[in-house]
Structure 1
Amino acid sequence: MATATPSEDYTEDKSSTKGHRYVCPICLESLKTPRSLPCLHTFCEDCLQTFITSAVGNQQQGISCPVCRKQIMAPESGLPYDKWAKSFPINYYLSAQTEVHSDIKTEIENCVFCERSSKITPAEHFCKNCTEAICDACKNFHQNVPSLKNHNILTLEYYKKNPIIPEMDEICPYHPSKVIEVYCSDHSKMCCSVCFATKHRHCKDVKAIEECAEDLPEGVIKDISTKLESLLKSVEEEIKGKEKIGEKRMKCKEEIVVKMTQCVEAAKKNLDILLKKFESDVDNHDSSAESQLQNILKILQGIKTSVVGDMQMLETANEFGSKTQVFVALEKAKTQMNEQLKQISDVASGSLSDGYTVGLEKVEEVCKLKSIGNVHSLMSTSSAVTLGTLDIMESFINDADFQRKQRLIHLEPHKIKWVEKWTYKLPGTYYGATVFGKKVAVVTEEKKIVVFSRAGEKLFEHSIPYDEVPTGISSSHENKVYISFKGHKILKEYEIDNNKITEVNQISLQGVAEGFCIFDDQIVHTSGEYVYISNKNGQLINSLPMIISSGYIAFLVGCQRQRMFYHINDKNVICRRLDKDTTTKILLSEFTESPRGLGIDFQNNVYVCCRRGNKLLQISHKDHSVRVALEVDCYTIAFHPDGMSFVLIDYDGNLRFYTISE
């Protein structure tokens, strides 16, 4: 029987995480009944169930993790969603930590086994395997029962003061009904029996978990803990950096709103001043016109009075005067009339203002404004995770390409240069290519998979025993590819082991997969009329309409790290997020050169093959500006998952391999 006592194995943690409170990402309180999703993020059972209830309905097949957004399938097929949380495994590691600071342990006084027999016996020990407090007698009983004698028993005092992880089998995150049994060193994966049988049966270095545990190198825990502390520090610095960016953005937001408000207020004030000046100008014009009018009216009124006097004079002379007097009156009237006619003619020939016109063009331009200013985001990055972090983590992440990528990650998109390393003339017609691990694979109209090394050497080819022509190929990790077929609603999954290719699965889809991409938990494919989003079993999650008029293949590419995918929609390149916001379209750019193949580099810049013009275009991830990355004939493009190399296939069947130039 194994009886544990306080020893070096159970020494309190003196690291920087000592006293760290494990909190639920949903409620931000200490974890209660911690349950872990397959993505390894842990939540309170009640919080997780509340989230599941709010996020799904009876028709849903899964949820997105609240932290990483990874698609999580139902724990069991047909299980009601109100029981999902209880079906996810308990995180006993965090449960043990949270129980140390709870009152549950201090309340344990009596032997649980004896209580079931209606006896009250003080507990002195704790069985990790039974997860029960026991007395001396029950401890001795354990020793005499073959199935119990190997149980790990601690003193109750030690149990109350320290975190204790129950002796429980580790549940497989992909097959909840199975437990972890073996470890594949080839892929650094813990596997259940199903994982081993379906994905690792050809691997060479597979051992039982217990055997691996016994062979742990001395000091490995301290080594990994040190590296994790370094990583934690870098993450915390990165959080601070991102928070500073957020603070800077909010400050900038307030500043530009104040500036625009000041400009608008100044513009309004200026408009008020200009309006008053305009009113004054109108008054001045009108006063002058009124004065001119009154002067003319005064002249005409005088002429009128004179004419009336002449008429009275002539009438009086004619009625009461002599002939001589009449003659004289007539002559005076004639002379006066000629003078009056001249005056009237002079007045009539002059112009008077009878109204006004005004130029409203400038004011109308203001009225027609749809915007008073365009807002553009200034992209910024924090630099907490840098080469300093990589130096500390060197033995943990010993990957030259990864470190090289970190050196180039902040390079301006327009400064990225690509160098052609090799070209291979492909016989026949080739529809698609993929780059994975240290290999390049293409599919042919002759129903073959042809595999090359990244150095340009043809390694081998494999005939595909299927009636239809393969039209697309994509990889999910180093030894697995998926292939679509013309006019068929299926994907075939193949495993590549050395020079051998084996079909391991066939996935039925909702629509024809003319173009497709593979995510960890989902499949996105296009039929030319719709974009379909399915889980890895082919069950439909969402469908979105699209337009394809530029070619037979509906080109599409996915960005695993950003959980986004891009596709051709008529002559546009559209970006969509692989979450609940999948219906939101982001127009990146419009082309007239008939866009074809799509690719994404290590910065998330998008590359577009253009049929006309023989060029590969780059769409910047910063501002969506477009530039010519390469002057080259190209039909389809496929990037390596690290985004630092790619292959092109042109219309003449040339396979070209490019890497980034420093």
Structure 2
Amino acid sequence: MAESEQEDLPGTDDKFRCPICLEELRNPKYLPCYHTFCKSCIQTYISSTAACSGDNSPKTIQCPVCRKSIQAPSDDASSEEWACSLPEDKLILSMSVDSDRSENQYCMFCQRNNKIVEAKHWCKTCTAIICDDCKFVHSYVPILESHGIVSLSDVKDFKTNIEIDEPCAVHKGKCVEVFCQDHDQLCCSICFATKHRTCKTVQSIDDVALEIDETSYKVTPSCLKDFLKKLDALQGEYKDVFTNLNAKKQEILTCTETKVEEIKSLIDKAHNQWMKQFEQKHSDAVDHIEIASDEVKRLATTVQEANTLMQRVLENGSTKQNFVTRHKVRHQILDHISRLRDLNIWDVVHNYNQPDADFLRQILEDQHFQNVEVLKKPDSTLNTLREFAFKLHSNDILRRRKIMSQKDWMSVRFEKLSEIGLPTWVYYGVFVDDTKVLLSTPIPPSLKIYDVTDTKARCIHTYPCSTIPFGLCHSGENMDKVYVSFETHVDHYQIEISDSVMLKKMETIQLKTHMKAISRGSTLILSRNNREKMICTSDFSVRHTSKNPKIGNEPFISASFHSNHHTTIRGDEVVVADQDNQEVFKEAIHICDPRGLAFDLQDNIFICMMTNKLRQLKCGGGESRDIDLPGIQESYNVVLHPTGEKILILDIYQKFCVYKVL
């Protein structure tokens, strides 16, 4: 049975430890999943576990921590060559220098020439301890002159402002230099030239790191510590269940043995068969629990290593290194969680039940004992993983929204990213991912998900509905859960997007009042039907109702991203009201056919004008402007991405366009 104590994990103390030997890292090398090991340890691991998946396939290993598949650098690479080809973790190496060691330290350069010379200095760029002579060489060799060298005796000097060029995980010998926000990836010059040249938002890592303040980060030591506590608690639960199963097993065996002795002459054969069956069930149950517990422990190792690295980088790293490390840590943890969520191991046995212990009757009637029942239930691990992954994703949305909210929204521009013609009129849509939109399609009644990555959008999933779907809105800060109104009821869906797309209905909420358009505010749900506007609680119970007849084919309503205001069209006026249905302001817009509308991140209002333009009205009224919409003939509804980075326009001429907000 895997133990759950965190002290067994590498990285529990303040030193970087190898997950294989559990000793302090020596000559640290890291895999593409960013897990770091001693060179000798990973070489031995490669030698003992590398295998080919087919006749012509290169050798592969699985990471000892997260089990990600890693491919050999070449078909005929030896374990030593493979280990040597792995990048050296210079960040950990530089933060592991200890100037307080009592034993002598020797110049690493001189040792390569079989010389033993006492080291007195530390070169941050070479990440090596050097002697006086080697320091002198640095002073007159041009390529070495810019290296930062500090004295080993000066603890403060060499422990501050760590700046290590992060090597590219794809292109050997290259370092990451830019950050592509479109793909959320760190890139070297070759990555940029081959894969990201056409991306719209690619910035220097130095510039990105300076733009982000501490409150915008989604990965913090406190967050990781809380998650570690939950993982530790899960392992404790596995241990308790294991102990309980053993105790229950023994109880049943004792009871069975007592009854067997009474009728032993008749039941020896049946007893042996029953024992084999029960032992196998118990073995399967315990093995299953051990597998699940082991996977949780591996995730805890990933999180603990990330926590140790984050703490050290926060104490000693530059702003650039801080940003790069947080990015790597978030993707490392999310990748590990994603692999765990795909495993079919989370329905575990939690108890046994013996429904009928009348063995004499069973022998007389059936010639065998009735089998022990195995009671299974989904454990809490999946919920814990989902909650933490949701937290990381949600924090990223809030961070990006905060950056976008700093723009002057009355002067933003739109750049068309994608468009597509639709088979019928569509009035409602919502973003469910950075590159996916969900639309309510009336004919035939269905929910359709479109991929808007390319200039030509494409439908990638259709979910048939029994009745016509209308308004849509997110049910939380994340985009993977949405409410869909069917006028008499609202369905709550979980949207899973990975290699494939799946909609899963989680619940149905029956409505006492018909609702079509819906929008979620900070604490309330806003809705409209053909005659009225309603302010509802989070369970769609109506708090306020007011007359608000629709204009056009369908009604529309929009809630603010950060205030308690909502807005609708009433006649030829835009009306903004608060959570108590008190009007904040209204303004006549003097256009023929106002339709759908939405708040931007500064509570200005976008209004569809049934033309190829979108009108923007400044918060509080008094100022407005018209924005051209390339590709649109008559704008009918507008939806802003939760981060404010993109906007969706639905055209009455059966099409939609997605634009990037500049």
One fold, TM greater than 0.5? no
* Rg (Cα) greater in structure: 1
Query: Which category of TM-score, normalised to the shorter sequence, fits these structures?
Result: 0.3 to 0.5
Q: Which of structures 1 and 2 has the larger relative contact order (alpha carbons within 8 angstroms, sep 6+)?
A: 2
